[in-house]
């Protein structure tokens, strides 16, 4: 039978659910069951047991979690950098010799690194956005750098552009492609043939960049902007 040592089980009874649905939660390495309100915990465990091969496959296919914490290696502009803590560095973060060096107290390291990467993302995104928007003779209202969990960028109908700070970890051509994608929406708020023609006018590697995001993008999304859990 199902063993809780395999996957922690989260039960979610939904009033409109007519059957059980199983989902793998990579962040907590758990099995999440959405079930009808009258279903029993025993039947839920049996359902998980029947689907253990699927859960194990999902776990294996999920990129390992990394954290913005000393000792972890994360990409910066497409190149791996190791995070190093230097308490004598007065709380500053800087990059040197493929190292992300963070100073100050050991508490709040993840926040300081994330703030630094957000700043670097803005410095990288803004000039490219200005250039591409001018190329289309379009204007935008403002640029936002956010911690989005599933989207690399967005363009609102009012002309606000948002980008994930995680783009600074991707190779520069990927960042350029995402900017081109969102700037193209300033002219075409759809994904029509005209829209993709605009994207191709702005960058010459759109197809390769989309392929990279599909195959490698989830690795960046699994880098956690928080402290790693304490293992006892």
pLDDT at 228 (0 to 100): 77
Q: Residue 135 is part of a domain; what is its CATH number?
A: 3.30.2010.10
Residue 83 lies in a domain: no
- Asked if residue 125 and residue 220 are part of one domain, the reply reads yes
164-174 in b/e burial notation, b at 16+ Cβ within 10 A? Answer: bbbbbbbbebb
pLDDT at 3 (0 to 100): 59
pLDDT at 232 (0 to 100): 43
Q: Can you list the residues of the chain whose pLDDT is less than 50?
A: 231-232
> Strand pairing partners for 160?
142
Taking the C-alpha atoms of residue 115 and residue 36, their distance in angstroms, rounded to an integer, is: 43
Place of tokens 């989005």: 148
pLDDT at 1 (0 to 100): 53
Taking the C-alpha atoms of residue 78 and residue 124, their distance in angstroms, rounded to an integer, is: 13
Helix (H, G, I), strand (E, B) or coil at 102: strand
- Asked if residue 220 and residue 158 are part of one domain, the reply reads yes
- Asked if residue 210 and residue 123 are part of one domain, the reply reads yes
- Asked if residue 119 and residue 213 are part of one domain, the reply reads yes
Taking the C-alpha atoms of residue 119 and residue 90, their distance in angstroms, rounded to an integer, is: 18
* Domains of the chain: total: 2
Residue 147 sits at φ, ψ, to 5 deg, of -100, 75
Contact 211, 52 (CB under 8 A): no
Structural domain that includes position 33: 9-61
Per-residue pLDDT tens for 76-133? 999 999 999 999 888 799 999 999 999 999 889 999 999 999 999 999 999 999 999 9
Helix (H, G, I), strand (E, B) or coil at 205: coil
pLDDT at 224 (0 to 100): 86
pLDDT at 202 (0 to 100): 98
Taking the C-alpha atoms of residue 22 and residue 128, their distance in angstroms, rounded to an integer, is: 42
Beta-carbon neighbour count of residue 137 at 10 Å? Answer: 8
Contact 153, 162 (CB under 8 A): yes
Beta-carbon neighbour count of residue 74 at 10 Å? Answer: 20
Residue 149 lies in a domain: yes
Per-residue pLDDT tens for 72-82? 999 999 999 99
> Strand pairing partners for 155?
161
């Amino acid at each position: 039978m199902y063993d809780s040592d395999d996957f922690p089980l989260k039960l979610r009874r939904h009033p409109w659910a007519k059957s059980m649905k199983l989902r793998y939660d990579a962040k907590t390495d758990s099995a999440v069951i959405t079930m009808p309100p009258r279903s029993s915990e025993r039947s839920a465990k049996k359902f998980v047991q029947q689907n253990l091969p699927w859960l194990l496959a999902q776990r294996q296919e999920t990129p390992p979690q990394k954290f913005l914490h000393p000792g972890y290696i994360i990409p910066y502009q497409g190149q791996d950098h190791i995070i190093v803590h230097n308490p004598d560095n007065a709380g500053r973060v800087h990059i040197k010799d493929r190292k992300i060096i963070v100073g100050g107290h050991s508490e709040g390291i993840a926040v300081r690194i994330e703030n630094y990467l957000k700043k670097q993302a803005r410095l990288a995104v803004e000039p490219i956005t200005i250039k591409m928007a001018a190329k289309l003779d379009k204007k935008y209202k403002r640029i936002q750098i956010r911690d989005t969990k599933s989207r690399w960028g967005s363009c609102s109908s009012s002309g606000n552009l948002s980008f994930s700070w995680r783009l600074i970890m991707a190779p520069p051509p990927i960042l350029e492609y995402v900017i081109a994608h969102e700037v193209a929406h300033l002219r075409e708020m759809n994904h029509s043939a005209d829209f993709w023609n605009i994207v191709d006018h702005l960058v010459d590697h759109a197809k390769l960049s989309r392929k990279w995001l599909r195959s490698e993008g989830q690795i960046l999304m699994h880098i956690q902007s928080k402290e790693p859990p304490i293992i006892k």
